[in-house]
Amino acid sequence: MTTAPWLRDDVVEAARSILGWRVTSTIDGARVVAIIDEVEAYEGEQDPASHAYRGETPRNRVMFGAPGGLYVYRSYGIHWCMNVAVGQVGLARAVLLRGAKIITGQDIAVERRGRADNLANGPGKLTQALGVTGSMDGHRVDEPPLVIDSAGRSPVSVEATPRIGISKAVERPWRFVATF
């Protein structure tokens, strides 16, 4: 059996290993399945770009909790974004799910997004396509209605680049993009 990425202590290793995993959302009876192809790693209180850098708050509490918890938050007050808590409780390491390829339920994703192109190529687009909202903050990613599992595909290659959309610790090459 493949070890769940969120059980790994090294957040960079966890981020790379979740590429190619399948995420299945079954919300309000609508099923969307996607293959994760873009992520970023955040190293908790050791990482100035992390929401956990200044310590635990009610907003980021899930990051400090059990591995496999879904940390959902609003970005710029507009888009929902989701991270998976990784490693030991209390260290607040997390992997931001930045993008995925929709493989089932494309019609549902199009309806949710209001467009047929660029369905899930960004963290806000991904959550919208999957139907994820703030009500899922704290959800376990190994339980419905949103499940991440290893039944995806193996990447042909993985490119490491600096993280994007941040202003601190931008030099860290902790954004990973998979090609299938």
Nearest to 125 by CA among 148, 152, 102: 102
Q: Are 172 and 96 in contact (CB under 8 A)?
A: no
Cis peptide before 58 (omega within 30 of 0): no
For range 79-96, the mean pLDDT = 97
pLDDT greater than 70 at residue 1: no
* pTM for the predicted model, two decimal places: 0.96
pLDDT greater than 80 at residue 51: yes
For range 148-176, the mean pLDDT = 95
pLDDT tier for residue 2 given thresholds of 50, 70 and 90:
low
Q: Where are the domains of the chain?
A: 5-179
User: Which option is the CATH number for 5-179: 3.30.70.20, 3.40.50.300, 3.10.300.10, 3.40.50.880?
Assistant: 3.10.300.10
pLDDT tier for residue 5 given thresholds of 50, 70 and 90:
confident
pLDDT tier for residue 67 given thresholds of 50, 70 and 90:
very high
d(CA 71, CA 46): 18
Distances in whole angstroms, Cα of residue 102 to Cα of each of 10, 24, 130: 28, 10, 9
- The percent of residues in the chain predicted with pLDDT above 70, rounded, is 99
What is the per-residue pLDDT across 34-45, written as a single tens digit (0 to 9) for each? 999 999 999 999
pLDDT tier for residue 3 given thresholds of 50, 70 and 90:
confident
